[in-house]
């Protein structure tokens, strides 16, 4: 396996699958829980067994102590029934108890007869170094090993009613095989909990597979998508959960937007290529004609004038494309500053007034009250210029009016002309890029109104067109006012200036 450089991420094929990751996570957690349960169950069983068998010894010791203590607070070991079978015989079938009575100095006072069945020296004749115990506990049993087998023992203190220690009872019993029982319990717990863990692991694996099956279908369908077949959509599996269905629906919505963007890009590229090819072809044709033979200076001058016009058209087209690309790319990331829309309108009107005069048009400016909006001054300047330039260009005679006012808390800029108007059939397409409703002999790139619409939308506004029955076109842009301007009371109409 090659050493991975620092910072290099894993490829999708090298990563753990969701199913494996889920199984490892849930399996580890369940294994830790089951291990804890098993350990606690084993210790609980061990404690219960130790307490139960210790209680057997202590109950026997209490019985013996109740007999050997006399009413006059003396000790008489002969008062107990030592002839009972479990004190006389050592046969395991009768569950024998081996009892020794020691005085407080450790001297042996009495021993049960069954102790004699042990080989000499095999059974301890002294008191064992055990803590005397009167009540039961869960601690492990104390064991001693003899030639006859393994025993467990307890030392019981014999006290009179006043609490004075009178003797010690040392009592033993054959070990019941607790260690073997605990091994069986551990085996049963291991097999049972291990089987349960395996079953739950298989269940988790199956559930993960069911959850992932729709996702795998979505992944396979997405992998087949390309720019050439964006019309395909991801099917939503019938067994998909709500979250998976929402994911597929969201991806389909994204594909809708991608398809639309690709189609617009293709159309825009084709239109841009066509729009740029025409003036370049004209330029090339005039240059070839001019270079075929020597011509008078005036002929060259005319050719240069034509070339200048075409270059100007190219420059305007490219600038418009760059502005549209800038708006498409930056979206709402450009800073917004206070802009006086009235001042912008006045500046544009003065710039285009000579063009209006040359066509014999009356250019009217109805905008003297400041109307401030948030935005970019250069973009708003392009917006006003394109609207006013269109009106001047397509109005053969009459008046072009530029109005700026406040209406219902919004800034409204309208350009009204007395031209032929926009046919209703194409009115909805005039903001499409490179769309032109004018005759071919009218100069233009088909980007002016598209740029106006894009700038208006970037500023949170709208562009609308109306054609009154009396003729002409009213192009109006509505923009949001600055916040401190929205509560300003409406002013009287500004005086009208006319060229």
Buried b (16+ CB within 10 A) or exposed e, 478-488: bbbbbeebeee
Residue 66: CB atoms within 10 A of its CB come to: 11
pLDDT for position 490: 41
| pLDDT category of residue 422 using cuts at 50, 70 and 90 | confident
Whether 452 and 494 share a structural domain: yes
- pLDDT of 117-173, one tens digit each? 999 888 999 999 999 988 888 889 999 999 888 999 999 999 988 888 999 999 999
Q: Does any domain span residue 397? A: yes
Whether 172 and 302 share a structural domain: no
pLDDT for position 281: 73
Q: Does any domain span residue 371? A: yes
Q: Is the pLDDT of residue 60 over 90?
A: yes
Whether 45 and 127 share a structural domain: yes
pLDDT for position 67: 92
The pair of structure tokens assigned to 314 is 């190219």
| Domain end position, chosen among 270, 302, 323 | 323
Whether 407 and 460 share a structural domain: yes
Whether 342 and 309 share a structural domain: no
Report the range out of 112-121, 238-247, 301-310 with the highest average pLDDT. 112-121
Q: Does any domain span residue 224? A: no
| pLDDT category of residue 287 using cuts at 50, 70 and 90 | confident
pLDDT for position 133: 87
pLDDT for position 212: 74
- pLDDT of 67-86, one tens digit each? 999 888 888 999 999 999 99
Whether 33 and 131 share a structural domain: yes
Q: Is 322 left (phi over 0), alpha (psi -120 to 50) or beta?
A: alpha
pLDDT higher at 223 or 144: 144
Mean pLDDT on 482-489: 60
Strand partners, 108: 102
Whether 163 and 37 share a structural domain: yes
Percent of the chain at pLDDT above 90?
35
pLDDT for position 497: 42
Q: Is the pLDDT of residue 333 over 60?
A: no
Whether 287 and 178 share a structural domain: no
Q: Is the pLDDT of residue 2 over 70?
A: no
Report the range out of 42-51, 283-292, 335-344, 377-386 with the highest average pLDDT. 42-51
Look at residues 410, 342, 412, 341 and name the one whose alpha carbon lies nearest to residue 380.
341
Q: Does any domain span residue 464? A: yes
pLDDT for position 288: 79
SS3 345: helix
Q: Is the pLDDT of residue 229 over 80?
A: no
| Domain end position, chosen among 281, 296, 323 | 323
The CATH number covering residue 300 comes to 1.10.287.130
Pairing of strands 462-466, 474-480: antiparallel
Structural element, H or E, at residue 462 = strand 462-466
Distance from C-alpha of 165 to C-alpha of 158, rounded to nearest angstrom: 6
Q: Does any domain span residue 472? A: yes
- Any idea which residue has 């991801």 for tokens? 234
The CATH number covering residue 95 comes to 3.30.450
Q: Does any domain span residue 461? A: yes
| pLDDT category of residue 279 using cuts at 50, 70 and 90 | low
pLDDT for position 102: 95
Domain of residue 343, residue span = 335-498
Whether 396 and 317 share a structural domain: no
| Max CA pair span of the chain | 158
Q: Does any domain span residue 167? A: yes
Q: Is the pLDDT of residue 335 over 60?
A: yes
SS3 135: coil
pLDDT for position 427: 67
Q: Is the pLDDT of residue 483 over 90?
A: no
pLDDT for position 245: 79
pLDDT for position 216: 75
Question: What one-character DSSP code corresponds to residue 484?
Answer: G
| pLDDT category of residue 241 using cuts at 50, 70 and 90 | confident
pLDDT for position 208: 79
What is the residue-averaged pLDDT of the chain?
82
pLDDT higher at 429 or 106: 106
Whether 353 and 282 share a structural domain: no
| Domain end position, chosen among 136, 166, 183 | 183
Look at residues 369, 416, 409, 423 and name the one whose alpha carbon lies nearest to residue 388.
416
Q: Is the pLDDT of residue 224 over 50?
A: yes
Please state the domain count of the chain.
3
pLDDT for position 479: 93
pLDDT for position 469: 82
Whether 178 and 94 share a structural domain: yes
| pLDDT category of residue 494 using cuts at 50, 70 and 90 | very low
Q: Does any domain span residue 303? A: yes
pLDDT higher at 445 or 458: 458
pLDDT for position 327: 60
The CATH number covering residue 394 comes to 3.30.565.10
Q: How far apart are the first and last CA of the chain?
A: 83
pLDDT higher at 239 or 397: 397
Whether 298 and 341 share a structural domain: no
């Amino acid at each position: 396996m090659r050493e991975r450089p620092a910072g290099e991420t894993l490829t999708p094929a090298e990563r753990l699958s969701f199913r494996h990751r889920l199984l490892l996570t849930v399996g580890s957690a369940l294994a830790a829980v089951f291990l804890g349960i098993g350990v606690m169950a084993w210790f609980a069983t061990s404690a219960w067994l130790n307490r139960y068998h210790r209680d057997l010894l202590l109950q026997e010791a209490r019985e013996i102590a109740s007999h050997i203590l006399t009413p006059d607070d003396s000790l008489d070991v002969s008062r107990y029934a030592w002839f009972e079978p479990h004190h006389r015989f050592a046969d395991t079938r009768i569950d024998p108890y081996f009892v020794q009575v020691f005085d407080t100095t450790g001297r042996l006072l009495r021993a049960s007869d069954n102790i004699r069945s042990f080989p000499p020296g095999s059974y301890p004749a002294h008191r064992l170094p055990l803590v005397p115990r009167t009540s039961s506990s869960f601690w492990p049993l104390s064991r001693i090993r003899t030639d006859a087998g393994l025993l467990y023992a307890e030392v019981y203190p014999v006290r009179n009613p006043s609490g004075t220690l009178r003797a010690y009872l040392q009592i033993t019993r054959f070990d019941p095989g607790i260690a073997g029982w605990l091994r069986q319990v551990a085996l049963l717990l291991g097999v049972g909990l291990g089987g349960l863990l395996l079953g739950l692991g298989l269940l988790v694996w199956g559930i993960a597979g069911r959850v992932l099956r729709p996702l795998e279908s979505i992944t396979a369908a997405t992998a087949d998508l390309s720019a050439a077949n964006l019309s395909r959509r991801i099917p939503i599996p019938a067994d998909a959960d709500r979250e998976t269905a929402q994911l597929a629906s969201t991806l389909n919505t994204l594909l809708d937007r991608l398809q639309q963007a690709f189609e617009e890009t293709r159309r825009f590229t084709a239109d841009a290529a066509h729009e740029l090819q025409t003036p370049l072809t004209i330029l090339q044709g005039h240059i070839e004609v001019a270079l075929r033979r020597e011509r008078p200076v005036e002929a060259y001058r005319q050719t240069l004038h034509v070339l200048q016009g075409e270059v100007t058209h190219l420059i305007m087209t490219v600038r418009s494309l760059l502005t549209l690309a800038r708006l498409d790319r930056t979206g709402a990331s450009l800073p917004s500053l206070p802009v006086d829309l009235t001042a912008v309108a006045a500046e544009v009107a003065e710039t285009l007034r000579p063009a209006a005069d040359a066509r014999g048009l009356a250019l009217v400016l109805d905008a003297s009250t400041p109307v401030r909006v948030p935005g970019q001054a250069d973009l708003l300047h392009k917006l006003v210029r394109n609207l006013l330039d269109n009106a001047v260009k397509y109005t053969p005679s009459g008046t072009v009016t530029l109005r700026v006012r406040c209406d219902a808390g919004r800034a409204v800029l309208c350009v009204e002309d007395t031209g032929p108007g926009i046919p209703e059939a194409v009115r909805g397409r005039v903001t499409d890029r490179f769309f032109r409703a004018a005759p071919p002999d009218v100069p233009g790139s088909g980007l002016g109104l598209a740029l106006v619409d894009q700038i208006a939308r970037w500023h949170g506004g709208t562009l609308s067109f109306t054609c009154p029955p009396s003729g002409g076109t009213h192009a109006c842009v509505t923009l949001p006012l600055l916040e401190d301007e929205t509560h300003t009371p409406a002013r009287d109409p500004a005086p009208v200036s006319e060229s």
